[in-house]
Amino acid sequence: MSFVTDIPAAPSEMAIEHFHRRLSVETDCADVAVALKSSEQDFVLLHVVGALHDYERRHIPGAIHFPHRNITAESMLEWPQGTMFVTYCAGPHCNGADQAALKLARLGRPVKIMIGGITGWEDEGLPFASGKEPGVI
């Protein structure tokens, strides 16, 4: 018996619940890229960490620079209440996307984290944008 099978797999119903919950709070770089490329962007993509000059140097196309410290009830009035947000940060070593997602959830906003962040985007070989504007993929 290996370490993999030493603990048995969860029953299917438990696994379904677990993976459904996980997918309800996260998305990945590939799914975001497909939505951006196909003009099916039904979410607001937020670049939530770093200074503006970091965003201007390199960001995911279509993303708005909106540091998590700026997320307040007042600042979110720019978007209708049911707007879905996707947050991302530098990568797996950064928790800025989690901090932003928590703030958005506390404000009653639908939110997912794009796992991998900039590191994951780069690992997928996806293009970046630069400058002050969100840009397109």
Please say if the pLDDT value at position 54 is more than 90: yes
Q: Write the pLDDT tens digit of every residue in 32-49.
A: 999 999 988 899 999 999
- Verdict on whether the full-model pTM lies above 0.85: yes
pLDDT tier for residue 24 given thresholds of 50, 70 and 90: very high
- Name the strands in the sheet holding 85-88, side by side, starting at the edge strand that comes first in the sequence: 26-28, 111-115, 85-88, 44-47, 64-65
- Of 75, 87, 92, the residue nearest 49 (C-alpha): 87
Residue 115: HSE in the Cβ half-sphere, 13 Å Cα cutoff: 8
Q: Are 85 and 46 in contact (CB under 8 A)?
A: yes
